[in-house]
Amino acid sequence: MSRRLLPLIAVLAGAVLLSLMAGARWLDPLTVGQALWAPSPTDVDALLVRTTRLSRTLVALAVGAALGVAGGIMQTLTRNPLASPGLLGINAGALFAVVVLVTLGGALPGWLANVGAFAGAALASLLVGWIAMRRPGESSPLRLILAGAALTALFQAFSQALLVIDQQGLDAVLFWLAGSVSGRPLADVWPLMLLALAALLACGPCLRPWNVLAAGEAVAIGAGVAVRRLQLVSIVLVVALAGSAVTMAGNIAFVGLIVPHVARRVSTPDHRHWLPVAALLGAILLLLADVAARTLILPGEVPIGVMTALVGAPVFMALLRRQGAAHG
Amino acid sequence: MTTISARRLTLGYQRRTILRDLSLDLPEGRISVLVGSNGCGKSTLLKALARLLDPWQGQVSLDGHDIRRRSTRAVARVLSLLPQHPVAPEGISVRQLVCLGRHPHQSWLSQWSEEDERRVDDALERTAMRDQAQRRVETLSGGQRQRAWIAMAVAQDTPLMLLDEPTSFLDLTHQMEVLELLKSLNREAGKTIVMVLHDLNLACRYADHIVAVRDGRVHAQGAPPAVITRERVREIFQLECRVIEDPFFHTPLCIPFGKQRDA
């Protein structure tokens, strides 16, 4: 397994280095290395690397991996190839919470916005899960998707209404609307990174049961999978992964949708193979998207959510056409 | 060996009761076939036996103990299930599908064992799927696909197999192929087989024990000649028919009559 992953790990290392080098001011690899391991306190470049560049690199890394895996889990859970973490209402819930907080209290300290966004994401997905699984034994992927879509629409409507009433809030939430990995000091986001890392590791024991669940609930129960428990654990993992991702970087489109597909295509249908690939591909995609975002329209910056959508939408459309062809 | 039975089972969907106070013992080491008209509750009964549905009242017993008291993994070591119209994960090969059947015998730390490997090979061999092992399930024909799913259940290595309409959507050739396979699993490997079938004549041919379900209750059960008679078929299916002896296999052969014609 690790042999399959080695090339991807190498690409990831390259993307990390590139992300530390790139920007309005390009640095060479040597400067980056020096800044990381032997920084001189007066060196402006070292300061640049160790503060803004390192933090946005780590955020992109964590968010990309978390979204890739969370999307993969959602697709297995719902048996729907077009499912993504957003379907649980996670993004809409986080945005709504931030909008409410901003409307109530104006400018927010970073930690409060984080707590609020994560709580909103978790509450929204709990609500979706509760509606979809009202009757024991009668939950279905379709109910989850419908409940998620309905609640997402509801939360978005609330958010928009509040933003129309309180125009000043718009600036504060623009970050969450468009998505960005910049301006997130490590001091603010490290608990979220730890949470995402813990959730990634916690996927380990679920990999094999997910393989069976992918063949359907009835087949999985027949093969001895405790399906209800596995579904619950899966949703908790998705909330931890996608919730921390949206809290760190806002609404980043398409990563959770596209990356699992690509991972399954370049790997095998075995979750033990493709889910790690999805984590690596997600991290690579987001790192590269961020590099492009901050170098394309200097001195300005394209929001990374826009960047991933620019890349993701065409891939998504190609995917839909291929699936359409395959099915009829 | 393992016996499965239902004790005063009542259950349904939402507010609609499907099975009413149903009790049933299924003979060990035999092929039992559940028959009945659409909506009579035979599939629901099979799902309840397979613990896919929880009873409102009563219980399903495995060797005399409530099936819900045992972990689903422990149950899966003695009871395998082929649900109606299963859909394989995209891109999965026949062999990978069959390997899923080994799940209840593994813990998340344990490695794939030689025993697992042997059981998978054996299942592929028994179902004549060895040559197709590397093919993707979605590229198989309907009959092959059903054999691949049966191979997964065989790899699970359970004394008891439950199958919900394993022949639906198959042409006659493939229906026979699947039923012959199940019969050989019963006769050679000694597996207890319980399945739902729609075709009465095939049910008569392959069943040792027929259970006729009507309105959520067991209407009649026993050897095919005892259950499939003109009167019984009228009661179970509201269908006029004549029953003669199959000239070749000597099992009951039901010839359905329309409402207009009478002979």
Q: Which amino acid is located at A235 in the chain?
A: I
d(CA A81, nearest CA chain B) in Å: 10
Give the chain B residue whose CA is nearest to the CA of A81.
B90
B50, B80, B90 member nearest A269 (Cβ): B90
> A70 Cβ partners below 8 Å, 6+ apart?
A85, A237, A238, A241, A242, A245, A256
CA distance between the termini of chain B: 47
**Closest by CA position to A100, among listed A174, A173, A151:** A173
How far apart, in Å, are the Cα atoms of B10 and each of A116, A282, B43? 47, 49, 14
pLDDT band at A327; cut points 50, 70, 90: very low
How far apart, in Å, are the Cα atoms of A287 and each of A156, A207, A231, A278, B8? 28, 26, 31, 14, 61
Choose the mutation target among A1, A201, A210, A221 for the interface with B, i.e. most B CBs under 10 Å. A221
pLDDT digits (tens, 9 = 90+) for A98-155: 888 888 876 677 788 888 889 999 999 888 888 877 655 455 677 888 888 899 999 9
- The mean per-residue pLDDT over the stretch A319-327 comes to 57
Place of tokens 């026979």: B176
- The mean per-residue pLDDT over the stretch B251-257 comes to 92
CA A128 to chain centre: 19
Strand partners, A169: none
Counting DSSP H helices and E strands in chain B, the numbers are 9, 12
Strand partners, B256: B241
Q: What is the pLDDT of residue B130?
A: 94
- Taken in order A151, A152, A156, A162, the sign of the CA dihedral is positive
The reported pTM is: 0.90
Domains and CATH numbers, chain A: 70-277+298-327 (1.10.3470.10)
Check pLDDT > 70 for residue A95: yes
- What is the ipTM score, two decimals? 0.92
Place of tokens 């590099």: A291
Residue B41 falls in which region: left (phi positive, over 0), alpha (psi -120 to 50) or beta: left
Q: Is B89 helix (H, G, I), strand (E, B) or coil?
A: coil
pLDDT digits (tens, 9 = 90+) for A56-84: 999 999 999 999 999 999 999 888 888 88
CA B216 to chain centre: 18
Place of tokens 């409940």: A147
Give the chain A residue whose CA is nearest to the CA of B104.
A224
How far apart, in Å, are the Cα atoms of B146 and each of A26, A100, B84, B179, B203? 60, 54, 10, 11, 18
The Cα–Cα gap between A149 and A141 comes to 12
Decide if A259 contacts A281 (C-beta within 8 A): yes
Q: What is the pLDDT of residue B41?
A: 92
pLDDT digits (tens, 9 = 90+) for B103-162: 999 876 777 889 999 999 999 999 999 999 999 999 999 889 999 999 999 999 999 999
Minimum mean pLDDT range among A86-100, A157-171, A205-219, B196-210: A157-171
The Cα–Cα gap between A243 and A275 comes to 18
Check pLDDT > 50 for residue B22: yes
The Cα–Cα gap between B113 and B14 comes to 43
Which run of H or E residues covers position A5?
Answer: helix A2-21
Contacts of A138 in chain B (CB under 8 A): 13-14
Decide if B161 contacts B193 (C-beta within 8 A): yes
C-beta atoms of B86 and A215 within 8 A: yes
**Residues of A contacting chain B (CB within 8 angstroms):** 79, 81, 135-138, 204-205, 208-209, 211-212, 214-216, 218-219, 221-227, 264, 268-270
- Taken in order A175, A177, A182, A184, the sign of the CA dihedral is positive
Whether the ω angle into residue A299 lies within 30 degrees of 0, i.e. cis, is: yes
Place of tokens 């690579």: A284
Q: What is the pLDDT of residue A328?
A: 30
C-beta atoms of A269 and B106 within 8 A: no
pLDDT digits (tens, 9 = 90+) for B72-104: 999 999 999 999 989 999 889 999 999 999 999
The Cα–Cα gap between A251 and B84 comes to 40
CB pairs under 8 A between A and B: 92
DSSP annotation string for A200-212: HHHTGGGHHHHHH
The Cα–Cα gap between A119 and A93 comes to 8
**Which DSSP letter does residue A87 get?**
G
C-beta atoms of A216 and B87 within 8 A: yes
The Cα–Cα gap between A217 and A150 comes to 24
Place of tokens 């964590």: A62
Higher pLDDT, residue A172 or B195: B195
Which run of H or E residues covers position A219?
Answer: helix A217-222
Find the radius of gyration of the CA atoms of chain B: 19
- Taken in order B82, B84, B90, B93, the sign of the CA dihedral is positive
Within 13 Å and on the Cβ side, how many CA atoms surround B167? 22
Neighbours of A299 (CB within 10 A): 6
**Residue-wise over B6-24: b if at least 16 C-beta within 10 A, else e?**
bbebbbbeeeeebbeebeb
Decide if A88 contacts A242 (C-beta within 8 A): yes
Check pLDDT > 80 for residue B176: yes
